[in-house]
Amino acid sequence: MKVLSIIPARGGSKAIPLKNLVRINRRPLLYYTVTASLRSKFVTRTIVSTDHPKIARVARSLGAEVVKRPKEIAGDTSPVELALEHVVNHLKETENYIPDIVMLLQNTSPLRNSKHIDEALKLMKRENYDSIISGFSTHIFIWKKSKKWIKPVNYDPLRRPNRQKLPEQFFENGAIFATKYKNFIKSHCRISGKIGFYRMPLEFSYNIDTLEDLNSLKKFFAA
């Protein structure tokens, strides 16, 4: 089975300049996702999609392949699916390479490791899912804003149940997305069809989007 792992790594992050190369525990952020992918028992190719030459050099030094991403699909509002399609089409046109599974590993999830990747892929194969996502499950009381007030989404405050009796909710953590190639080509989406859920522990579900997230992670490694 050919599993293509694609790691998007733009150079134009505004919240944290060159976020993908920021050093955490003396290693660039990119190191953690590339290493997790390369150490997987099932991932057969690891490709970093980037528009930045410095990121490309670091990715190659870590052992990943690199596909240069065009500037027109590397903007702040460019859907990540465009980067996935670009890599898939590039490999098909230049090598006639067609994977069985396309996996998206976002660089903002540095605590996801090869064990998580392999367990997700095994679950996907065992249950014959078309796609799989990672995340964590919980039982919490959810509210939403309605004009100036808030309203409950999943329970009635007048009949407040024990928290354990609430329906289980599933939260994406952004660490792992995988889908069959045929589904991706048809849907142009990172997940479609019969979608499975891979449970990751909450403590491994850390996601870096802001400078505060980054500083918290640095404290985690320093502890």
Residues 73 and 48: their CA atoms lie apart, in Å, by: 14
Set 112, 160, 190, 199: catalytic member? 160
Backbone dihedral angles phi then psi of residue 3, each to the nearest 5 degrees: -110, 115
End-to-end CA distance of the chain: 40
Q: Which of 87, 89, 108 is nearest to 36 (CA)?
A: 108
Residues 133 and 111: their CA atoms lie apart, in Å, by: 16
Token pair belonging to 53:
């030459």
By 3-state DSSP, what share of the chain in percent is helix, strand and coil, each rounded to 5?
35, 25, 40
Residue 10 known to be catalytic: no
Question: Which sequence positions are flagged as catalytic?
Answer: 160
